Structure 1
Amino acid sequence: MNLSIYLVTDDAYFKDRDLVSTIEQAIQGGITALQYRFKNKTSRQMYEELLVLRELTKRYNVELVVNDRVDLALAVSADGVHVGENDLPPDVVRKLVGDKMYIGYSVNSLEKLREVEHLPIDYIGFGSIYETSTKKDYKLVGIEALRQAVKMTSKPIVAIGGITHYRVKEVLSAGAKGIAVVSAILGFEDVKKATEELVSACRSYYREKLYSA
């Protein structure tokens, strides 16, 4: 499970661009995981797109995670499935997927984090760390809450929400094991270059950490 550079798709960014070629550019730029998340497509359309993306991610050794739809995740043999509090409960998801895939869970407060520690989940998506325009109903938690969250759970935390290449160091310093982004990659015409900038920021942080140890 490598969620260090974790791209999440969004309907708004694919109105005038090809899904597969755009994702391939992001993969070539260095993403380690892709979460397929769309709200305005039919099940058949999502299934057919996921079949293509499954082959693409396998070819490049990138993780494929499906948002919400456990049935689609199983249908295409995804690596993981990501759910939130309005989706199927994680214990039910675990019964369905067994040990075939890992489960991610979205949390947007320290209070909620305390409630989910016992759940059969493998990582936690925590945010929004910064202000974001991607989700209209987001809840801002902030960087200090991320620092506290990392100390409160033994599960790896993937930070999400308003993360850009110049904020990577702050997020990783707070203890996040991965950064999940949407607009920081998909908000740019040159998707590969935007991804490379994120990857470079991550490498710079770990290089500094190594030298200062």
Structure 2
Amino acid sequence: MNLDLTLYLVTEEAAPLETLLTIVEEAIEGGVTLVQLREKSSDGNVFYEKAKALKELLDRYDVPLIINDRVDVALAVSAAGVHIGQSDLPLHAVRNILPQSMIVGVSVSTVEEALLAEETGASYLGVGAAFPTGTKSDAKVLPAGILEEITRSVSIPSVAIGGITLENIESLWNTGIAGVAVVSALMQAENPTQIAREFFSKQK
């Protein structure tokens, strides 16, 4: 699978299913290249139903679906892969469960975490928080220079995440990232297509 991380949309759990599908479709029309379904407190059935509906939508646009944390849900809906954090099931265990063809992204915030993730089979890294963010209350902003250090240390692609907006994205140029992961700036946009277009064009 060609993994295009240029503009990576991470969903917000608060959005009801129909709203979620509308926002995601509009964002894809603006250039979103990958979508991660993030559900932190939904029960398994709700998560599965959202994932199934989202997968059907994304398949029409040939955009990969990544499932946050839940390996079982990813397998159940034949998602492109999963994204795990440092406190989730260890990467080596996830790799034992999933087919080799599936993508596994790992959240990292240090060079050591990045090197270990690459060594144990990560497909890409989510590096953050790049900026202060209200989406993840426990996210610490990366010290200056760490994003560049991480991208230089590994050969797999890295995506910057955390508080990224149209106003601050340009400061991420020349850091070696393969793309940006955006949550609120797209999920709460009045016109997701237009905002996605602007994000996409700022990376070219």
One-letter identity of the residue aligned with 2:140: K
CA drift at 1:143: 5.2
Partner Cα separation in structure 2 for residue 169 and residue 142 of structure 1? 18
Name the stretch that deviates more: 167-176 or 88-97: 167-176
Aligned residue in 2 for 1:59? 60
- Equivalent position amino acid for 2:134 in 1: S
Aligned partner of 1:172: which letter?
W
1:6 equivalent in alignment to 2:2: no
Give 2:178's aligned amino acid: K
Is the CA contact (8 Å cut-off) linking 2:91 and 2:117 kept in structure 1? no
Normalising by structure 1, what TM-score? 0.88
- What is the aligned partner in structure 1 of residue 154 from structure 2? 153
Unpaired stretches in structure 2, ≥5 consecutive residues: none
Change over 3 Å in CA distance of 1:80–1:199 after alignment to 2: same
CA contact (8 A) 2:17 2:50 kept: no
Q: RCO higher in 1 or 2 (8 Å CA, sep ≥ 6)?
A: 2
RMSD: 1.7
What is the match of residue 140 of structure 2?
139
Decide whether the 8 Å contact of 2:5 with 2:159 is kept in 1.
yes
| Separation in structure 2 between the aligned mates of residue 142 and residue 18 of structure 1, nearest angstrom | 36
Asked whether the 8 Å contact 1:166–1:201 carries over to 2, the reply is no
Q: Residue 166 of structure 2 aligns with which residue? A: 165
Q: Which residue of 1 aligns with 2:44?
A: 43
* SS of match in other structure, 1:166: coil
Q: Tell which structure's C-alpha radius of gyration is larger.
A: 1
Q: How does 1:74-89 map to 2 (within 5 A)?
A: 74-89=75-90
Farther-moved stretch of structure 1 (138-147 vs 49-58)? 138-147
Give, in angstroms, the shift of residue 167 of structure 1. Answer: 2.7
For normalisation by structure 2, the TM-score amounts to: 0.92
Q: Which has the higher helix share?
A: 1
Offset, 1:132: 1.2
1:112 aligned partner? 113
Alpha-carbon distance in 2 for matches of 1:115, 1:40: 28
2:184 equivalent in structure 1: 183
**Which letter does structure 2 place at the counterpart of 1:8?**
V
Would the aligned equivalents of 2:6 and 2:200 in 1 still touch at CA under 8 Å?
A: no
**Letter aligned with residue 165 of structure 1:** L
Confirm or deny that 1:126 pairs with 2:127: yes
Deviations 1:63-103 (A, max 9, x none): 11000000000011111110112111111111111223110
**Structure 1 alignment gaps of length 5 or more:** 204-213
Query: Counterpart of 2:176 in 1: which secondary structure?
Result: coil
